[in-house]
Amino acid sequence: NAGVTQTPKFQVLKTGQSMTLQCAQDMNHNSMYWYRQDPGMGLRLIYYSASEGTTDKGEVPNGYNVSRLNKREFSLRLESAAPSQTSVYFCASSEAGLANYGYTFGSGTRLTVV
């Protein structure tokens, strides 16, 4: 099925470990986004890529890095995980950088840092 695929779906890390969350879309969308959602909260934007080759910070970028590997893939890296990064991470894509296009979201990665 067409859409946004995130891997892994679940992950437990120890404090200080690093990991990369993967995201791929097969809709030929130009823009991609990483959000995090803490329990009972709305989504907060971490980083986004308006087009291939560009990335920009969102509301909560500290502790994260991103790579827009190609048009399809946008990865999120935690260099040194902290318990405060325990959250559900959602990747999304949209047709263009303009926010008047709909977003398609992945099903999320549930990350626990102990």
Partner 1 sequence: DAKTTQPNSMESNEEEPVHLPCNHSTISGTDYIHWYRQLPSQGPEYVIHGLTSNVNNRMASLAIAEDRKSSTLILHRATLRDAAVYYCILSSQGAQKLVFGQGTRLTINP
Instruction: Out of 25, 29, 35, 74, point to the residue binding partner 1 (CB under 8 A).
Output: 35
Binding partner 1 (rule: CB under 8 A), the pick from 7, 20, 27, 59 is 59
Asked if 33 interacts with partner 1 (CB under 8 A), we say yes
Beta bridge partners of 93: 32, 104
H runs (alpha helix) in 8-107? none
Q: Does 12 bind partner 1 (CB under 8 A)?
A: no
Q: Tell me the residue type at 97.
A: G
**Which of 41, 69 has the CB closer to partner 1?**
41
Half-sphere exposure of 39 (CA within 13 A, CB side): 4
6, 106 Cβ separation under 8 angstroms: yes
β-pair type (43-49, 56-57)? antiparallel
Q: Is 102 in the site for partner 1 (CB under 8 A)?
A: yes
Rounded to the nearest whole angstrom, what is the least distance from the CB of residue 76 to partner 1 in the complex? 15
69 forms part of the interface with partner 1 (CB under 8 A)? no
State the distance between the two ends of the chain, measured CA to CA, in whole angstroms: 34
53 belongs to the binding site for partner 1 (CB under 8 A): no
Question: Which stretches of the chain bind partner 1, using CB under 8 A?
Answer: 4, 31, 33, 35, 41-45, 48, 50, 56, 58-59, 90, 92, 97-100, 102-108
